[in-house]
A and B are shown apart, each in its own frame.
Chain A
């Protein structure tokens, strides 16, 4: 079962909830966490993994052989992203604009264009002390597009061996938890693709509600079942409950606004360490997901 934790608005508590879900799930089953917020990955700060594998992520960019190129401009003509331009009898390539579709390479009548890998980020993977298989993507500074890193992360094979924990020894089925990036554009969609269920973490403020609507739009288009978790309950008066009722979104959990919790999380404590009283509610949420999504 693949579950995405998303929110629209940043800072609503996605990572707090995703890591708590992973820790509770790890008590009874094999758990994998993918930190899909490649621009600002934070799950590792709360789960303390030991990185044991990783790889650079590259995307293909065109390179022009000046000897063969006649500057006919066919490549610049077909590129929908304006990543190639003919300037003063030579072709200039703008790597940051290139989407790596490959079109220029096969359209070139002189076969003067080939592709080379450009490093755009990195994947890191390893085990946490409680036996969670954690992998994160890191977008390289200055690189505009996180999607290639996110796609590589989704294809990253599970880390199979752990020094202390054997995955096969776990009795219950496997769960993958994806911590989504904020917003509601392409990286969020890519995180949601291939998932089985979504948990939407929001806060009862005008911002929380506005941004929640954006993500609900995507979730509904993808036809995914979703549950809402209200964090910082009590901070505002936005009608989240009414909106959820209208959209048929069940509210699965409410976490009240407490300075004590905010302080503990600021120090890097996990939600469960700071507030173990939420463990039964989180366990209940996992059980609901298991029953209603996988039918197990």
Chain B
């Protein structure tokens, strides 16, 4: 089974719009053979473009938070001395855990002389599976402010892979998070190919460089797709050169096209909403081009 992860470094370059269009193209070329996953659990937007329905949700429990038993606590402050995350604060003379700062390590439990502290497991979000006209979608919702988004990404991918393998699917399309940290590493791990969607801006280029370095660090082959390529041709050339210097080919240049925004407002992949739009034609061509690095011949199973 092949796994394509769509990344960018910088946020807002069009990852999700590209993923949705590729999902549509995959469904046209090989109906029922591709599964979809949204690994951007902080800002899970893919479902908004894929007419998702019939969601099955399950709470995701991960990590813990320290809780003080008010009746046993002597307010000695030993917990504060043990904590490296500034998660304990004194309010009106009484020690309190800031659940947002607490990482659930349990160091405070070791140091409390009155055994007033305990760790309580945390529900940090929800794992979801939805049906879409383009195939099943695995996604998640991270409760605002929670940590462990990398673990939630891993959980989403594990579920998607299990279904894909059980159903003998050809592949999995993963919409990745921005940045280069833990959720990105979780999204990249085990992928067959990373497609980096960037834009020809100075920040797009800078962030692409760091994202490419991350993908290479994990030895995943990469290709570049430049969105709004005609907005700043000089920037587009600079990105192509950066890619070439690193041995990463630019395989798509998408034009600045307001059809993308229209499709977003309509809640559909742009290739389904406006198949004749310039950006849709470029995205359809991108799907075909992607088959070669995956070891497929265009359109085959």
* Contacts from A to B (Cβ < 8 Å): 8-12, 15, 37, 39-40, 42, 45, 78, 80-81, 99-103, 106-107, 139, 141-146, 181-189, 193, 205-207, 210-211, 214-215, 217-218, 221-222, 235-238, 259, 262-263, 265-268
Contact = CB atoms under 8 A, between A and B. Distances in A.
Interface string B116-128: 0001000000000
Given A39-B180, A81-B105, A141-B217, A184 B43 contact: yes
Interface residues of B, number: 68
Contact of A217 (B11, B144, B235): B144
A10 B178 contact: yes
B12 A11 contact: yes
Nearest to B46: A207
Given A205-B264, A266-B232, A183 B178 contact: yes
A139 B181 contact: yes
18 contacts: A8-B42, A9-B12, A9-B45, A12-B12, A80-B105, A100-B84, A107-B110, A141-B217, A142-B214, A143-B181, A189-B100, A193-B101, A207-B48, A211-B42, A236-B265, A238-B265, A259-B231, A267-B235
A40 B110 contact: no
A262 B231 contact: yes
Interface in B169-185: 177-185
B213 interface: yes
A207 to B, nearest CB: 5
B265 A237 contact: yes
B261 A235 contact: yes
Interface in B27-76: 40-45, 48, 63-64
B264 A183 contact: no
B163 to A, nearest CB: 25
Given A141-B213, A146-B181, A184-B42, A103 B110 contact: yes
Interface of B: 9-13, 16, 40-45, 48, 63-64, 82, 84-85, 100-101, 103-107, 110, 119, 142-147, 149-150, 177-185, 199-204, 206-207, 210, 213-214, 217-218, 228, 231-232, 234-235, 256, 258, 261, 264-265, 267
Contacts of A215: 144
B45 A144 contact: no
B10 A217 contact: no
A183 B43 contact: yes
A236 B267 CA distance: 11
Contact of B105 (A99, A182, A188, A238): A99
Contacts of A182: 11-12, 42-43, 178-179
B185 A144 contact: yes
B270 to A, nearest CB: 13
A263 B201 CA distance: 8
For the complex of A and B, 3 pairs with smallest distance between CB atoms: A10-B11, A11-B12, A183-B42
B105 A142 contact: no
B46 to A, nearest CB: 10
Interface core residue of B43, B85, B149, B199 (most chain A CB under 10 Å): B43
